[in-house]
Structure 1
Amino acid sequence: MVREIQRRLVIGVDYGTTYTDVSFATPLGDTCSLDEIDVNSEWDPGMSNEPKVPSVISYPEQEWGDKVGANSIVMVHTKLELDVGEVDDELDLLLQTLDGMKDLSFRHLRATEMMGGRPAYTQKSSEEIVTDYLSKILQCIIPQIDAKISQELRHIIPTDIVITVPTKWSYRAMNSTYRASTKAGFNHHYFPMLKEVIFVTESEAAAIYTTRYLKNRQGTEFLRMNEPFILCDAGGGTVDVVSYKVTQLSPTLQIEQICKPTGRKCGSVFINLAFKKWLRMLIGEQNYRELDPELGETKISSHSAEGPAMRELMRDFNARKEIFHSHYGEDIRIDLPAPKDNLTLPGKVNAGQIRISSRQMEVFFDGCVGQIINLLREHKEAIQKSGTGVRLRNVILVGGFGESKYLQEQITEHLGLTDINLRQPDTSWTAVVQGAVVCGIEKNRSENLIRANYCRHHYGILSKQIFSAAYHTEADRLRYDKSGIGLADGQLLWFFTKGDLIASNSPLSVTETISLHFSTSEPKKKALQFFRYSEDDRPTRFKEAQNGSYSSQSTHGYTSLLTLAIELDAVCTLEVDLSDFPDSAFTLGQRPGMIQVEVAVKMRLVGDSLSASVASKSGRWLNKPRILCQQSNIPY
């Protein structure tokens, strides 16, 4: 029996630090020529018909892309804010926040509040900003898809959505990307026959598309069987480098990774940040703040933003940056926008015009370029040491930053590419998003794809927490000691959030440290109840769970909770027995006659298999953690 080949819809989304693009195709089965991929260039009325649109949005107007009002304040580089996970990133964000608050007057905040308004900066999270932005993208792509296949067919055609992410993209960032895209409308509401949401790294997508594109244009001699090559995807925020080898030439070119992918946050936006830092020193703090009055405000909310004057200045700088090269020679002159268009500082600024020497422009570039060259050098050396016997002949450069002549010249010079081709295809700007569609079309035979699923409920436990007036209600405070700080009683500690990403390449796992409190006169046993909550608006207090109330109850020596909450489902109880713990394992509680001990509570979700465990913490009497109790097959 011959199986009928079905028409499909595959959508690629490449949300970038500086620009975003979307593409789609409607293949029959799992094959499609590159020419059948449509890259969207129809955005909102009044926007330019380019294949990419700026990744910016303003508040409260929600103007976006390149259609932003002259006086609007726009959120920029929000993608990078999704991945503040490493210590260096968090320290950098803290330093920027403190720097932005320097000499800051809060009078504008009080004045705005008295007028019944709100500050110019948005109080939304980075994830919410991305959601708002992607919803604008979706509303532009839907009419283009309907024009191609009709609204009726969109509702019944099997659909896959492929989202690109950087090589080094944490679970936290990927989860926020997933939640933002699904909330924005890339879900079953607009695509009722949605089969899968898939993640692929930007470098993988770019490599698959670019090698096939170049093979089609340059013939079979472009790459040979088992031949290695390096791909560098240089974007606005991140730069990824991956090494591959050819595993099949026909009928379709196939490749596989041969070295560990590497990446850094050293994209072209960091050239802009270097320029801003230089300008701030050149014209002085006060003059700079008049050009960028949003500096202090936006750092309070930890978002990067640009006001009208700075946006105009950066537009001019970017135009010069894009055409800069190693032999540029002459100085670059840029006029400062109002209110500093007539500023004169002897030897620095002349009637509002600043002058950037060619050498200074190189300094702006070299912080990023040096890191990219190091990444490429590591891969080149790894291939040479691999002993394959096949010579490296090609380095492929894609992405918006990859179009920079200065970057291309520096790579050629410092890597010694006299016998290696540095290829930069004419479709490099959209290589990632088109490659995403190819990966979606060939999902059943593509490697390195991450299938996305979502957590269907919230899961958490009831706990006491150190009281904070910012997060807790005064009615929940238990005052035990003279400090008056005390504990917040009856708080719900959530491990999983409904809608969280469950990635096919790793389980969803969260560990929280909590304190268990005991009276010195009672057994050192405690029963922990785990709850499931299915609505979107999860409560933070047990008493908010629709008249929830609780009281202590002892069963077989274990102190547990008598649960009366209507909305919370008790799905599991773990009995923690610390009877064999020595007294030295406990610390004095905040109330006389009380002791406490810290334990690690973990929940883990693999597919539909949910488990929970409680482990001791290592300390003076215990060299390594010990599992105290655990349960698998918790109702999911």
Structure 2
Amino acid sequence: MPLERVLVVGIDFGTTFSGAAASYSEKPDTPDDICVIKSWPGGTGTSEKVPSEISYGPFTDGPASKKKGPASLKESLAAMSIQDKPSGPAFKWGFQLRPDEPRLRCIKLFLDRGQNIPSYVSKADVVEKLFDADRDTTDVVADYLSELYKHAKEALVRRYGEVFMSTTKMRFVLTVPAVWSDKAKNATMQAAERAGIHEDLSMITEPEAAAVYALQAIQPNPLLVGDNFVVCDAGGGTVDLISYEIKQLSPALRIEESATGTGGLCGAVFLNLRFEAHCRDKMGAQNFDAMRTQKPKSWISALNYFEEYVKRKFDPKDTNEFFIPLPGMMDDEDAGIDSGFLCLESEEIASIFEPVIADVIKLVEGQVNVLFASGRRVSGIILVGGFGQSSYLFNRLKARFDNAVPFPSSSHEATNNQGSAITASRIEVMQPAHAWTAVVRGAVLRGLEGTDPVVSRCARRYYGVTCSDYYQPGKHPSSAKYWEPMQEIFMIDMEVTWFITKGQTVSSTDPICFWFSRVLQPGDSRIVVDDLITCDDDTAPDWYDAGGHAAKILCTLETDLSTVPEHFWKEECGPSGQIFHRLDHQLGMQIESGGLKFDLRVNGVTYGSVVAEFK
């Protein structure tokens, strides 16, 4: 529980849609009592989410912005880099955009260079739009978040009044994907701060937020202490999964990661693309393209109906056919167009869904197989997200996991920690009532509770630092040697000590300590810099090679050792009689939900924070 009453605001910045929610109380009566913002600038009705789209023009209802021409590759890469820039040009966002206006979409994914970009998003087009607007990726995300942030505050002023808002402390919780790199999480935080969110700000991963909400909203549920469950956050562009084991249900929820998160590009927007391709085949490419050009509102009506009704309600057991509105289109018996409607049989809709549904099921199977192979029994699958609202996806997952479950990737029967055989059993598939807003609601609950519900996490990569060793000609490159004045000998600084290994269970509260023995000469600056080395491979190398691809520098860690009391520094004398000062200390590192946290420790006592600058 927080020490003081605050207004907690959750912000879910999604790949295709974003949302905001808030609550002012120590805990709402139910998780569904959280206030979700449903009115947006430019919107014609109510919606629990707003499109994650932004445009810097040219606009159809105003003067066109001046084009600079195509960017060179060098200029394009410069536009994508993180740098400080002045306030940018005017822009539209969310529902303000007209259908025929250019836009940047899925811009969130460009914060993490390791993420795959959907095929329907042109990287070259994104780079050109960034260059034309004189913005980089972080600038664009900051612009979008600034409008989301300002609108959320305006909506809350209307709800609570100006006096209340001016005298009440606010706490913001921003969601990020669990599969993102540490650099991408840091870039998200930078964008949020650049957007003007200067209040108490923290981050939580999307599946963690969804788990916090779902386990409180789905009551009663069959999950007990010791059970493992998979969170499947099926959104518009991406599907992210992570698994947890329940360690405690009351008085507060405590869970731990039991399998490393995975994800893929198989979100609901791919249904839209397959729907478009199906309509093109059914109507004929020439007729379809003519409709898109001459009657664009007809296609918008069809796509909106598919988006709002078919994707969410389709279930072949309930509906035999759907009538897709195509106002203004002439009757075409061969294409199935009659009286301004395109008739699609249930089998046709199922063919649109099938490949995407199959990809989601494959991802869930992957999580279940990992848990099963490690000797854990899986009791539940929690389905959330925009695509997670789909009745068909829910029923397909239920059919797949409802009975005795085969594990196709397991070559042998798994055993638990006691050596007893674990057999496949029924896995309960659960879908909370507010699946689309489960993440943002969970972010609010996380902010209200004030404590991290995840007691431990699985490290997604190796973390370590380089350590010194004696230079050996023939074994070490001569270009990397350096003179060590205290011992008066050549040393090498390439060997890596890995303090955290990939897949290792790491406590959320107890830091992993990196040990250092620092030797300085009198007069040397006591502000020191170290490189944090990471490796995503399953097996990490013993050496860091600046030109290699396995081990990389994630960030530099700047530590101010002047905060350490003088009595901890030991005076030592070199072979030539020169005086040195040695300090044995540690850098504490915690893997938190929203990123990494570092501090300086000596003999178990913390003497300050460590500044991380990501490359």
- Superposition TM-score, scaled by structure 2 size: 0.58
Q: 1:444 to 1:284 in 2, by over 3 A?
A: same
Q: How far 1:130 sits from its partner (Å)?
A: 3.6
1:438 aligns with 2:427: no
1:368 aligns with 2:375: no
Deviation per residue, 1:516-546 (Å, 9 max, x gap): xxxxxxxx99xxxxxxxxxxxxxxxxxxxxx
Q: Secondary structure at the match of 1:605?
A: strand
Distance 1:57 1:65 in 2: 6
The amino acid across from 1:435 in the alignment is G
Q: CA RMSD in A?
A: 4.9
Distance 2:454 2:240 in 1: 18
1:577 paired residue number = none
Q: 1:402 to 1:33 in 2, by over 3 A?
A: closer
Q: Is the 8 A contact 1:399 1:428 kept in 2?
A: yes
1:54 aligns with 2:51: yes
The amino acid across from 1:323 in the alignment is K
Distance 1:147 1:91 in 2: 38
Q: How far 1:287 sits from its partner (Å)?
A: 4.7
2:38 paired residue number = 41
Distance 2:154 2:23 in 1: 14
Q: Is the 8 A contact 1:400 1:429 kept in 2?
A: yes
Q: Which shifted more, 401-410 or 49-58?
A: 49-58
Q: 1:634 to 1:327 in 2, by over 3 A?
A: closer
Counterparts of residues 452-601 of structure 1 (less than 5 Å):
none
Distance 2:554 2:229 in 1: 42
Distance 2:94 2:50 in 1: 5
1:210 aligns with 2:217: no
The amino acid across from 1:403 in the alignment is Q
Gap runs ≥5 in structure 1: 102-108, 110-117, 295-305, 451-504, 510-523, 526-570, 574-597, 611-631
Q: Secondary structure at the match of 2:47?
A: coil
1:85 aligns with 2:114: yes
Distance 1:226 1:178 in 2: 34
Q: Is the 8 A contact 1:73 1:307 kept in 2?
A: no
Q: How far 1:203 sits from its partner (Å)?
A: 0.8
Distance 1:4 1:255 in 2: 20
Q: Is the 8 A contact 1:54 1:66 kept in 2?
A: yes
Q: 1:149 to 1:45 in 2, by over 3 A?
A: same
1:200 aligns with 2:232: no
Q: Which of 388, 391, 401 is the equivalent residue of 2:387?
A: 401
1:167 paired residue number = 178
Distance 1:428 1:27 in 2: 23
1:251 paired residue number = 251
Distance 2:135 2:283 in 1: 32
Q: Secondary structure at the match of 1:222?
A: coil
Q: Secondary structure at the match of 1:259?
A: strand
The amino acid across from 1:372 in the alignment is V
Deviation per residue, 1:503-528 (Å, 9 max, x gap): xx99999xxxxxxxxxxxxxx99xxx
Distance 2:260 2:246 in 1: 16
2:144 paired residue number = 133
The amino acid across from 1:233 in the alignment is D
Q: Secondary structure at the match of 2:320?
A: coil
Q: 1:271 to 1:634 in 2, by over 3 A?
A: closer
2:195 paired residue number = 184
The amino acid across from 1:330 in the alignment is N
Distance 1:353 1:134 in 2: 39
Q: Which shifted more, 432-441 or 72-81?
A: 72-81
Q: Which of 140, 144, 153 is the equivalent residue of 1:142?
A: 153
Q: 1:7 to 1:286 in 2, by over 3 A?
A: same
Q: 1:10 to 1:63 in 2, by over 3 A?
A: same
1:233 paired residue number = 233
Q: Is the 8 A contact 1:609 1:634 kept in 2?
A: no
Q: Is the 8 A contact 1:317 1:334 kept in 2?
A: yes
The amino acid across from 1:55 in the alignment is S
Gap runs ≥5 in structure 2: 60-90, 405-425, 466-478, 481-526, 530-545, 562-586, 588-609
The amino acid across from 2:357 in the alignment is V
Q: 1:278 to 1:79 in 2, by over 3 A?
A: farther
Q: 1:123 to 1:279 in 2, by over 3 A?
A: farther
Q: How far 1:256 sits from its partner (Å)?
A: 2.1
Distance 1:91 1:212 in 2: 33
The amino acid across from 1:21 in the alignment is G
2:19 paired residue number = 21
Distance 1:441 1:635 in 2: 28
Q: How far 1:13 sits from its partner (Å)?
A: 0.5
2:304 paired residue number = 315
Distance 2:152 2:3 in 1: 26
Distance 2:109 2:612 in 1: 36
Q: How far 1:426 sits from its partner (Å)?
A: 1.1
Q: Which of 601, 605, 619 is the equivalent residue of 2:556?
A: 605
Q: 1:507 to 1:422 in 2, by over 3 A?
A: closer
Q: How far 1:156 sits from its partner (Å)?
A: 6.5
Distance 2:611 2:156 in 1: 42
2:367 paired residue number = 379
Q: How far 1:22 sits from its partner (Å)?
A: 0.8
Q: Which shifted more, 175-184 or 133-142?
A: 175-184
Q: How far 1:150 sits from its partner (Å)?
A: 5.7
Q: 1:508 to 1:368 in 2, by over 3 A?
A: farther
Q: How far 1:411 sits from its partner (Å)?
A: 1.0
Q: Secondary structure at the match of 2:267?
A: coil
Q: 1:158 to 1:506 in 2, by over 3 A?
A: farther
Distance 1:42 1:17 in 2: 20
Deviation per residue, 1:120-160 (Å, 9 max, x gap): x9786554444333333222211343456665665675543
Q: 1:349 to 1:48 in 2, by over 3 A?
A: closer
Q: 1:150 to 1:352 in 2, by over 3 A?
A: closer
The amino acid across from 1:441 in the alignment is L
The amino acid across from 1:53 in the alignment is V
Q: How far 1:272 sits from its partner (Å)?
A: 0.9
Distance 2:287 2:12 in 1: 37
Aligned length: 435
Q: 1:441 to 1:226 in 2, by over 3 A?
A: same
Distance 1:122 1:359 in 2: 45
Distance 1:32 1:320 in 2: 33
- Superposition TM-score, scaled by structure 1 size: 0.56
Q: How far 1:364 sits from its partner (Å)?
A: 1.8
Q: How far 1:246 sits from its partner (Å)?
A: 1.9
Deviation per residue, 1:539-574 (Å, 9 max, x gap): xxxxxxxxxxxxxxxxxxxxxxxxxxxxxxxx999x
Q: Which of 323, 327, 330 is the equivalent residue of 2:320?
A: 330
